[in-house]
């Protein structure tokens, strides 16, 4: 099954997947971001499905269809979200049902959403972490595949804590993707 990674942010999780023993067939981005160079350095095709509208009239269904079309053209069977900055709509989750993986910087079901790291700090929890799960239309809610805890230190701020969470994500996510791909192959 051909794997695509979807990224928008600093791309460090994307890079960890590329550097792990996981074959990445394409990297899809919604904007110009460091993941593009990371993919090129690994000779991996880049699919730029540029999002040109961040307003309230953004056509999420149309954009999701464009993403699906770009992935299908590359015969992608499995998708790993790695800090992708656009929430995709039903056409995407229907096309790739059960075959979209995501990593989230909290121990779900605690702290879903964009501000997971800060929310954990604000709530004063002593332990947070990361969760790898199957992504569904409902954001940060699909079946959990793997989790790893991270202790919160007294002097942590959002940046320091997120960076330590990402250290665990960079191990756990590629390993879980690999295991999932192997399992999906046996089910074909």
Query: What is the binding site for ligand GRF (CB under 6 A)?
Result: 9-14, 82-83, 103-105, 166, 169
CA 61 to chain centre: 19
Q: How far apart are CA 96 and CA 142, in angstroms?
A: 13
Nearer to ligand GRF, 12 or 64 (CB): 12
What are the two backbone dihedrals, phi and then psi, of residue 127, each rounded to the nearest 5 degrees?
-135, 130
- In the complex, the smallest distance separating the C-beta of residue 8 from ligand GRF, rounded to whole angstroms, is 7
Catalytic residue status for 104: yes
- In the complex, the smallest distance separating the C-beta of residue 12 from ligand GRF, rounded to whole angstroms, is 3
Among 104, 115, 123, 162, which one carries the catalytic annotation? 104
- In the complex, the smallest distance separating the C-beta of residue 164 from ligand GRF, rounded to whole angstroms, is 11
For CA atoms 108, 32, 46, 64, the dihedral sign is positive
Q: Can you tell me which residue has the tokens 């900055």?
A: 85
For the chain, report the end-to-end CA distance as a whole number of angstroms. 9
Nearer to ligand GRF, 14 or 24 (CB): 14
Nearer to ligand GRF, 136 or 185 (CB): 136
Strand partners, 6: 28, 81
Catalytic residues: 104
């Amino acid at each position: 099954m051909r794997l695509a990674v979807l990224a928008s942010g600093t791309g460090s999780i994307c890079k960890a997947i590329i550097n792990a023993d996981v074959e990445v067939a394409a990297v899809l981005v919604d904007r110009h971001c460091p993941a593009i160079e990371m993919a090129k350095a690994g000779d991996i095709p880049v699919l730029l499905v540029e999002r040109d509208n961040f307003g309230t009239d953004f056509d999420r269904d149309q954009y999701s269809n464009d993403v699906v079309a770009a992935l299908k053209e590359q015969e992608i069977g499995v998708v790993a979200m790695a800090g992708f900055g656009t929430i995709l709509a039903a056409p995407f989750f229907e096309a790739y049902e059960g075959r979209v993986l995501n990593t989230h910087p909290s121990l779900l079901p605690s702290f879903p959403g964009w501000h997971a790291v800060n929310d954990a700090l604000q709530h004063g929890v002593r332990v947070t972490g990361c969760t790898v799960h199957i992504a569904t239309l409902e954001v940060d809610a699909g079946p959990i595949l793997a989790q790893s805890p991270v202790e919160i230190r007294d002097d942590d701020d959002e940046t320091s804590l997120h960076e330590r969470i990402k250290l665990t994500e960079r191990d756990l996510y590629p390993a879980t993707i690999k295991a999932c791909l192997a399992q999906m192959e046996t089910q074909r």
